[in-house]
Structure 1
Amino acid sequence: MPETERPAPGPPTAVRGEEWERRNAEFLSASLDWLRILLRRYAEDRTGARDEAGPEDPTEPECGPRDRAGEPTPPAEPRASLPWGRRRQTPHAPSGEASGSGPDTPARTGARVATGPAGGDELAAAAARVAAAEAAVPAPALVVLAQRLGLSRFERDVLLMCLAEEIAPAMGGLFAAAHGSQALAHPTLGLALAALPDPSWEAASAHGALRFWRLVEISRPAGAALVTSPVRADERIVDYVRGLDYLDERLSALVTRLPAAPSALPASQQRAVARCTTAWERSPAAPPVVRLTGGRPGSKQVVAACAAAEFGLTLYRLPAPALPAHPDELDRLVRLWDREAALLPLALYLDADDDTHDAPVADDTTAASLVGRFLSRSRIPAFLGSRDAHPRLARPAVDVEVTPPTFHERAEAWREALGADADAVHIGLLAGQFAMDVAAIDEVARSSEPGRVWDACVARGRSRLDGLAQRLRPDVGWDDIVLPDQTHTLLRQIAAQVSRQETVYETWGFAGRLTRGLGVTALFAGPSGTGKTMAAEVLAHELGLDLYRADLSGVMSKYIGETEKNLRRLFDAAEAGGAVLFLDEADALLARRSEVKDAHDRYANVQTDYLLQRMESYRGLAIMATNMRQALDAAFVRRLRFVVDFPFPDAGHRRELWRRAFPEHAPGRAALDYDRLAQLDVSGAMTRNIAVNAAFLAASGGTPITMPHVLQAAREEFRKLQHPVRERDFAWPYPQNPLKEALS
């Protein structure tokens, strides 16, 4: 069957129940009775013809008389048993789509019939029972299948013959008798062409509906003729005809069923659904591909689910990288999908949002090119979800941009989902901090207690971020960090801006005046070990959010476009999960943009520009850290909300760091000379390392922590970091006159 003549998916299957199952069974029983009578009469007629003409080779199809050497010779007159021979009147069940049959017209035939009124009455009565059962509403499964896949009446009867072997195994004896050989106790195309009414050789061709839709499978041994090879019905088709409706297992391994759409969608997404349904209503026979663009896969899937539900279609998601690269395998997949779409019916959401869809999957073939091939060959109602517009397809397509819910839409969704419990949570904080879709909001509200909604939102974002960045446990507070007053004040301001976004942006209306930069971005600059990471932990703990740390040096890639994709995935996941994003080693990507001298410089600048743009559109709290502020591009610094300096601690701050480095229950803590330790030129991170190592030295000796333990650990820390070591700085007690002590 040519591609242009493939039938469009039919209307949704009517609701089935016990009554339909009973009528479907009656139809199959009547159809098998009709087939038994037809095959028995054909076998009797064939036996009589062989008695007159002599023995024949049962493995060869009837193609005319043969000479003594066994070579075929052209017959003077076509034999009645040949599919292309003389037509006789054999009762056939009426069909509304077949020509030349019906209640007022002679029935069609392609087989010999026994003489005598009794035989004809028996076959006519069986055909009448089939016609009566076929007229049931809703129609039997085999009738629906034939209508939706465009089968002729002869092709439907061939399929019935193949189904008979599975439904009624005892019919093997009839097949053997009809073939005239016990070795052929199965259906064959040759038998169908010879015995069934209105035979057509097109049904046996690879482009015929039976083989095109893979309704039947031909087991053709090497050297065997096509018409004598066993023909079996596909297992999925056998189950469908018997009333079992499920997705073909060859497809179920590749897809997941998308959940039903929420009862109410935001107005912005309702408009996107309307554009999808309008596109399909304008061309119901050949629905165009609906390309859904935007940065939120969840929003696009919700829109697709709502649009599919409008047409009574079940929606399945297929990741683009799962498409087979081999052309034959891709073609088989297309035919199976189109067949399932007609039988169930269903719609497909082809997910190309994963940034890996541009990666090679075989030779030079990419998942993106496979998407184009698949959709160009398929006629299934389909959505294509991608972040940006997909290349042009060889099939009509409609582009629909899907935007995430706004703050007010998220807030309204939370109120509806929580119902009477809405007063127990801060709706504004939830809507402002977590950029979730309506479906995700419904799921969290249903599965969480009102007092645990915030924690459930935080946990939901971890699944996407855990594979992209390192999650740090923010278990420190303001009392655990020692910083200059100015640095401490800036950190407090950052926390206040994150928690007060709803008031300023939404209640006071500043969001309408700003087109970008609604998130809070900060740069933490200072030497290593001065508390930048710890300050980020304090902020995350204060806000009740997860903290994820990622090194920008690890995000960078030598392959063109990969750095931008890595950053996109990271920012999207952090924004949806409401996490605090801590990007370390910012100087690796945000160094001063260089003059373009070659392709390497050009793409390095593109990476920097992308990060700047992504920072401006980010709605959460993003913190960058660097040890070399002077190396950063001034354009980057201007676009940040805060720049927080972390200086090396002075003597006063070092004394406080030493005090907090030893827990209250540590033995010997009170006897330590903190003024003496403050003279050591150490950072906060070094202080913590020295305190832990000193504690282990004391525990090994079975004594409290003493100054010699601390100074010994400090000497080892200095040597580890290759800092200059002067022995008198680590002596205890500290010499009062270093010069005299040295001379002595």
Structure 2
Amino acid sequence: MSAPYAGSAPGPDAVGAGSPPDASDAPARALLARLRELRGRVSTLVERRAVGDPTADDPLRGLYLSEEAVRHLLVTWPETAEGHDGSGSGTGAGRAVGEEHAPGPADRLARLAGRAGLTALDVAVVLIALAPDVDRAFEPLYGYLNDDVSRRRATVGLALDLCGVPVQSAAARARLHASAPLAALGLLEVEEPERPFLTRSLRVPDRLVAHLLGDDTPDAALLDLLRPMPDPLPCDTATEQFSHQLAALLESGPATVYLREQREGDGLAAYAAALRAAGLDGLCCAVPGEHVTELLREARLSGRAVVVPALPERPGPLVRALAAAPDVTVLLADPRPYDPRWCPEDPLVLDAPGRRDGGTAAWRAALGADADGFDLAATVTPYRLGGDRLGRAAQAARALAAFDGGPVTAAHVRRAARHQSASGLESHTRRIRPAVDWGDLVLPDGPLGQLRELALRARHRNRVLGDWRLSAGGGRGRGVLGLFAGESGTGKTLSAEVVAADLGLDLYVVQLSSVVDKYVGETEKNLERIFTEADRTDAVLLFDEADAVFGKRSEVKGAHDRYANMESSYLLQRLESFDGIALLTTNLRGNIDGAFTRRLDLVVDFPFPDAGQRLALWRHGLAHVPSADGIDAAALARDFELAGGSIRSAVVTAAYLAAGRGGEVTADDLLEGARREYRKAGRLVPGEGGW
């Protein structure tokens, strides 16, 4: 059985042999220097065990590992006892392995011991435990010393013997307890709990061994969770001051900070700027779940701060686990307010600063020269992207421009920004990607001017209400609220789509069927989900047929009236704190509670179109339709009093009639379409009976 162990493995000094020393090998060389000292201690212990061993001449001893085989290994081990005379001098009892070693700047084990507060005994135990993972020659020797050739890792008893510490020492045994630094910090695993304590195997995690050898590849368990830290982008004066204050805190030593963010990404952006100002690196990790130990160990090994940009639904266990590491800086961010029940020791709780005025300077820095071909400020003002999303949007805009084969335009930036502002609103709303513009609206100057003012308010609300301090206070938000009132078909929904298109935002139409619930309190919960998500999303929210939700409160005559009034009261309070853009439409303005009207920024009345506007609507509808000559749209506008939606339906009907026969739209087709709209409305048709 001795043969398999007799061959000498390449010695640790073979690292880099035959080539000039490389700086990248420095950590490995520092670790191997420590192992050379450990070899001397192992040699001494083997000599001591061999003296007086009653089984030394037993032929069965070879089934495990013969003394001759062990001596052969010691002789053939390269530089086994460099600086060691075999007498045990320099490795006497009471001195930990490696105490003789003077750590150099590349000695990562010494640096780790300093950061983690490890004792000399801790360092020695780690070195003893990892030796077989670095040099195979330690395996058979450990097997011999364990009196079991199959147990080729260090055991608790062997480690204490090699350190010259009595195995009965309570203080020494306590260093291997689960709550002691080695195990608690994930630096050492004491395996086989079913065995007696002294015969339990010691294992150093592969990630620690790799780190000590100079490998900085993150732990495999974290690869799918780690995210790159975003590059800090230019910000306003208040945000910059906040970043410098936070940087000063981080420079002073390990800290735990919780940033409550208004919008997703604001906290990560603030942390990125603060870490850059403090000259530190961050280890950004999605919710680590069961890998907290690996995450904290990685932070200790690399000397980086742990950054968690979003917490799980139940954050208590995660916050407690991270806060229990006083030697690691932990930076947390989440939209929820901090709950003291999450952790017995509270972190520093702050509000994350948000971007204002669209972050034009940040966009310009992200786009570089690509921002020179269009009005950047007007394009990006509606967007409030935080964290790395702004930089990703800039990259996406360049990719879209390259796909189109031209320079970056405002359309590319808007499209990329909308993709980065992905929303969770779809569960209760229907998304519309606007494909219209101001040219598609046929309205009098009054309503048209109010719509343009609505878009203007949406663009500059942060400047007026924030920078110029014109907010009413009382926790009121910076939302923009508008009511569109008018008969069916007068252009209310189309106008909402045009406003969204002008702002470069998606339009989300609230599905009232998925919001209103017969159970008490459920409607409010559904609305809260919508408002909360809309606050965090760059989008326009449309409550079509808003009477069902924003209707007048009534006198309480029964339980139904009471709960209906509670819904209205909730909406009144929620609109006060709303930060997004919401539009309401109604066919009858009088159905909307007056308390809602007071909270609206604009009320736009959509009149029924007169003959001139109807003519413009007919011509607009026929603009892209192949039509026969001689169509008198003026007669249609004069004879048929139809709203814009009905005129469009009439044109669609005429287009289908023409397509069915493979020809152009004629005056008769349009006349038939107009008549059908009259019949659908239950009105008498001109030229037919009764007219």
TM-score interval for Structure 1 and Structure 2 normalised by the shorter chain: 0.7 to 0.9
Cα pair 1:40 1:178 within 8 Å, conserved: no
Q: Which residue of 1 aligns with 2:598?
A: 638
Q: Which residue of 2 aligns with 1:391?
A: 339
Cα pair 1:655 1:674 within 8 Å, conserved: yes
Give the drift of 1:173.
Answer: 1.7
Alpha-carbon distance in structure 1 between the residues aligned to 2:335 and 2:569: 19
Output one character per residue of 1:439-477: Cα deviation in whole Å (capped at 9) or x when no partner.
776777787698625741553133324543655444444
TM-score, normalized by length of structure 2? 0.75
544-553 or 516-525: which moved more? 516-525
Indicate how the Cα distance of structure 1 residues 442 and 707 shifts in structure 2: closer, same or farther if over 3 A, else same. Answer: closer
Alpha-carbon distance in structure 2 between the residues aligned to 1:523 and 1:117: 94
Output one character per residue of 1:326-380: Cα deviation in whole Å (capped at 9) or x when no partner.
xxx4xxx443333333221222333348xxx5xxxxxxxx524345434553433
Equivalent runs, 1:633-672 vs 2, <5 Å: 633-649=593-609, 653-654=613-614, 656-663=616-623, 665-668=625-628, 670-671=630-631
Matching residue within 599, 603, 623 for 2:583: 623
Give the drift of 1:411.
Answer: 5.4
Matching residue within 341, 350, 370 for 1:400: 350
Q: Which residue of 1 aligns with 2:104?
A: 136
Q: Which residue of 1 aligns with 2:210?
A: 239
Alpha-carbon distance in structure 2 between the residues aligned to 1:419 and 1:631: 51
Matching residue within 43, 48, 51 for 1:45: 48
Give the drift of 1:567.
Answer: 0.9
Equivalent runs, 1:33-72 vs 2, <5 Å: 33-51=36-54
Output one character per residue of 1:494-549: Cα deviation in whole Å (capped at 9) or x when no partner.
325645999999799994555578775431112333211222334455x3623413
Give the drift of 1:237.
Answer: 0.9
Matching residue within 571, 574, 582 for 2:535: 571
Give the drift of 1:243.
Answer: 1.0
Report SS of the residue matched to 2:53: helix
Give the drift of 1:34.
Answer: 2.8
Give the drift of 1:234.
Answer: 0.7
Cα pair 1:308 1:314 within 8 Å, conserved: yes
Indicate how the Cα distance of structure 1 residues 143 and 711 shifts in structure 2: closer, same or farther if over 3 A, else same. Answer: same
Equivalent runs, 1:351-362 vs 2, <5 Å: 351-352=309-310
Report SS of the residue matched to 1:459: helix
Q: Which residue of 1 aligns with 2:320?
A: 373
Matching residue within 222, 243, 248 for 1:273: 243
Report SS of the residue matched to 1:49: coil
Matching residue within 507, 511, 534 for 1:548: 507
Alpha-carbon distance in structure 1 between the residues aligned to 2:271 and 2:638: 64
Report SS of the residue matched to 1:210: helix
Cα pair 1:27 1:133 within 8 Å, conserved: no
Cα pair 2:459 2:503 within 8 Å, conserved: no
Q: Which residue of 2 aligns with 1:208?
A: 180
Output one character per residue of 1:706-734: Cα deviation in whole Å (capped at 9) or x when no partner.
56655666677778x6x5487xx49xxx4
**Where in structure 1 are there 5+ consecutive unaligned residues?**
1-16, 59-112, 358-365
Output one character per residue of 1:198-238: Cα deviation in whole Å (capped at 9) or x when no partner.
252224432333322232334528x5444434433211111
Indicate how the Cα distance of structure 1 residues 50 and 250 shifts in structure 2: closer, same or farther if over 3 A, else same. Answer: same
Alpha-carbon distance in structure 2 between the residues aligned to 1:18 and 1:414: 46
Cα pair 1:582 1:624 within 8 Å, conserved: yes
Matching residue within 659, 666, 673 for 1:699: 659
Alpha-carbon distance in structure 2 between the residues aligned to 1:686 and 1:387: 45
In structure 1, give the amino acid aligned to 2:155.
Answer: T
Alpha-carbon distance in structure 2 between the residues aligned to 1:253 and 1:275: 32
Alpha-carbon distance in structure 2 between the residues aligned to 1:677 and 1:454: 36
Indicate how the Cα distance of structure 1 residues 556 and 456 shifts in structure 2: closer, same or farther if over 3 A, else same. Answer: farther
Give the drift of 1:22.
Answer: 3.8
Q: Which residue of 2 aligns with 1:187?
A: 154
1:429 aligns with 2:393: no
Alpha-carbon distance in structure 2 between the residues aligned to 1:695 and 1:224: 86
Give the drift of 1:606.
Answer: 4.8
496-505 or 448-457: which moved more? 496-505
Indicate how the Cα distance of structure 1 residues 643 and 683 shifts in structure 2: closer, same or farther if over 3 A, else same. Answer: same
Report SS of the residue matched to 1:119: coil
Alpha-carbon distance in structure 2 between the residues aligned to 1:316 and 1:583: 42
Q: Which residue of 2 aligns with 1:609?
A: 572
**Where in structure 2 are there 5+ consecutive unaligned residues?**
1-19, 62-80, 167-171, 402-406
Indicate how the Cα distance of structure 1 residues 454 and 679 shifts in structure 2: closer, same or farther if over 3 A, else same. Answer: closer
Cα pair 2:451 2:604 within 8 Å, conserved: no
Number of residue pairs matched by the alignment: 619
Q: Which residue of 2 aligns with 1:347?
A: 305
Give the drift of 1:134.
Answer: 3.7
Cα pair 1:658 1:678 within 8 Å, conserved: no
Cα pair 2:484 2:605 within 8 Å, conserved: yes
In structure 2, give the amino acid aligned to 1:701.
Answer: R
Indicate how the Cα distance of structure 1 residues 198 and 482 shifts in structure 2: closer, same or farther if over 3 A, else same. Answer: same
Output one character per residue of 1:232-265: Cα deviation in whole Å (capped at 9) or x when no partner.
3211111111111243232343342322434x54
Output one character per residue of 1:120-156: Cα deviation in whole Å (capped at 9) or x when no partner.
36969xx999667643124x11222233333333332
Output one character per residue of 1:69-90: Cα deviation in whole Å (capped at 9) or x when no partner.
xxxxxxxxxxxxxxxxxxxxxx
Percent identity between the aligned chains? 26
In structure 1, give the amino acid aligned to 2:314.
Answer: A
Cα pair 1:163 1:233 within 8 Å, conserved: yes
Cα pair 2:296 2:306 within 8 Å, conserved: no
247-256 or 625-634: which moved more? 247-256
1:30 aligns with 2:2: no
Alpha-carbon distance in structure 2 between the residues aligned to 1:205 and 1:56: 39
Report SS of the residue matched to 1:625: strand
Report SS of the residue matched to 1:120: coil
Q: Which residue of 2 aligns with 1:102?
A: none
Give the drift of 1:159.
Answer: 1.9
Equivalent runs, 1:242-321 vs 2, <5 Å: 242-262=213-233, 265-279=235-249, 284=253, 287-319=254-286
Alpha-carbon distance in structure 2 between the residues aligned to 1:215 and 1:460: 44
1:217 aligns with 2:189: yes
Cα pair 1:277 1:307 within 8 Å, conserved: yes
Alpha-carbon distance in structure 1 between the residues aligned to 2:608 and 2:509: 24
Indicate how the Cα distance of structure 1 residues 270 and 242 shifts in structure 2: closer, same or farther if over 3 A, else same. Answer: same
In structure 2, give the amino acid aligned to 1:34.
Answer: E
Report SS of the residue matched to 2:52: helix
Output one character per residue of 1:464-491: Cα deviation in whole Å (capped at 9) or x when no partner.
24543655444444554334x3xx4321
Alpha-carbon distance in structure 2 between the residues aligned to 1:505 and 1:678: 46
TM-score, normalized by length of structure 1? 0.70
In structure 2, give the amino acid aligned to 1:137.
Answer: P
Indicate how the Cα distance of structure 1 residues 190 and 724 shifts in structure 2: closer, same or farther if over 3 A, else same. Answer: same
Indicate how the Cα distance of structure 1 residues 480 and 261 shifts in structure 2: closer, same or farther if over 3 A, else same. Answer: closer
Q: Which residue of 1 aligns with 2:87?
A: 119
Give the CA RMSD over aligned residues.
Answer: 4.6
Give the drift of 1:654.
Answer: 4.5
544-553 or 469-478: which moved more? 469-478
Indicate how the Cα distance of structure 1 residues 160 and 57 shifts in structure 2: closer, same or farther if over 3 A, else same. Answer: farther
Cα pair 2:230 2:387 within 8 Å, conserved: no
Alpha-carbon distance in structure 2 between the residues aligned to 1:570 and 1:505: 16
Alpha-carbon distance in structure 2 between the residues aligned to 1:323 and 1:129: 36
Alpha-carbon distance in structure 2 between the residues aligned to 1:201 and 1:247: 31
In structure 1, give the amino acid aligned to 2:188.
Answer: V
Q: Which residue of 1 aligns with 2:73?
A: none
Alpha-carbon distance in structure 1 between the residues aligned to 2:484 and 2:136: 78
Cα pair 1:261 1:302 within 8 Å, conserved: yes
